[in-house]
Structure 1
Amino acid sequence: LKSLYEDYPKLIKKVNGEFIFKIFFLERSKKKKTQKVSKMEYFFGLKENGADTMIQIYNYYVSNKQKKHCPNYSELFKKMNVTSKNPCILILDNELSVKEKPLKNLLNYMGIIDGCKIAELKEKCYLNSTSNLYVATNPLVNELKECEIEDLFEEAVLKTELNGKTFEKSEKAFNDTRNYGKRALSKYVWNNYDNINFENFRPLLDAIDQIVTKYNH
């Protein structure tokens, strides 16, 4: 967004050299040393990592799931005549063709198995689940059948060496003595965004932009 900010004024703006995001990112705060769990996990069951967090968020939108301590806030607010001001967007890697992957598991849990809905997600990179809750995913690139968001970067970025280490996204193949992971890559991208090509990210950013535009009209 910082690199392409001029093309997405509804999502970000630049004022006096400073970027101001118009969208907000959920920060799953880490627990403090004196805490057994983080506040997000204690109050909402949202753990720091893990795809189950997406399912847990969805649980607060429905009443017909076998779930514990997850009130249907969406229905509750409707009864109070309170409308959500903004959409809530769950962004997952595009692994639709692979069973037991987060996106496929989430869609199955939501009951989204209709071919038309799946085709819509493939075409638009997003779909509306319920109320103000949306699911978005990155596009497929380089003829890949499944695509993690890191795959959207050019090969030169993924081959960048940091402190003598190379990038490895696979947890099974990762070796701490010779590899760095996704967190280190994200920090590198954050610090060097003005020298990186983000064209492959446009379909995902377009999807977010369309969601925000449609929801606010």
Structure 2
Amino acid sequence: MPKNKKTEWQVGDPPISVVGDQFCNPYPMELMVKRKVINFSKDYYQVVDPSGNILLQIDGQAWGFNRKRVMRDPAGFTVLTMRQKGIRWKRKWEVHGGESKDKEDLLFTVQQSSAMSLKTSVDVFLAENSNIKKSSTCDFHASGGYSNISFKVFKSDALIAGVGVTHKFTWGSYCKGKYNFSVSVNPEVDYAFIIALLVMVDDIENLC
């Protein structure tokens, strides 16, 4: 976090690289995330830039207690793997680089802040701070989701990314699993990290 307290991450602030430096750009990014369910069994997310170029793809099973989401680059190579950890009152995910499950490849852990809140929110702990039971301070915090119309990611008090639903919310489109997000990523912020958080928060919200 910059020394001067700000409300938003800006050009000139230090890079926030969680997944990889290649996903950090020195300028703001506007992305579109398209979600759909394939054959009622598989979630699929496609991330495109304003020109329609595919930047990332995420897929995984739509149902089950130990869900897994795999993020791939346009060439099909695995960037990271998100795994839900069992049945919990507050949902928890572990995210590893590539297809690994090894502790040394852990990138970050995500845990639902509260199971009773009307707005979905999660706390994010980087690998070096991933012992949630011993740590009282998260590295990032995200809240919102499809039914809340917006989604925001913060590092301390600074907004690093914001997401909006690109059309009016309807329970019909929500339950069909087909809807879009517009994503605004601030300069020098790892957009693969932001997309991974969006996918996990969206998964927590998916009741249909």
TM-score, normalised relative to structure 1 = 0.30
The structure number with the bigger radius of gyration is 1
TM-score, normalised relative to structure 2 = 0.31
- Higher helix residue share: 1
